[in-house]
Amino acid sequence: MLGVQRSTVSAITRALQDNGLIHQGRGKITILDRPRLESAACECYRILRAKYLQLLPLAPPEPEE
């Protein structure tokens, strides 16, 4: 789906986990530090995120009690 080899994905996810940005388990990835993960991503992340939100806006967050 991504057009990259599985070994490449494994190397990248291992590096992200070693840096404390994600936790990887069997078939599941948990983001541990989103701000650091976003800053580690290329500038295209912010561009694509903005376009995604423009086309498919997220529902407003539920108010906290």
**3-state SS class at 18:** helix
Against a cut of 0.75, is the pTM above it?
no
**Residue spans of beta strands (DSSP E) within 1-65:** 22-25, 28-31
Structure confidence by residue, pLDDT tens digits, 2-60: 789 999 999 999 999 999 999 999 889 999 999 999 999 888 888 988 888 888 877 66
What is the Cβ-side half-sphere exposure of residue 52, based on CA atoms within 13 angstroms? 7
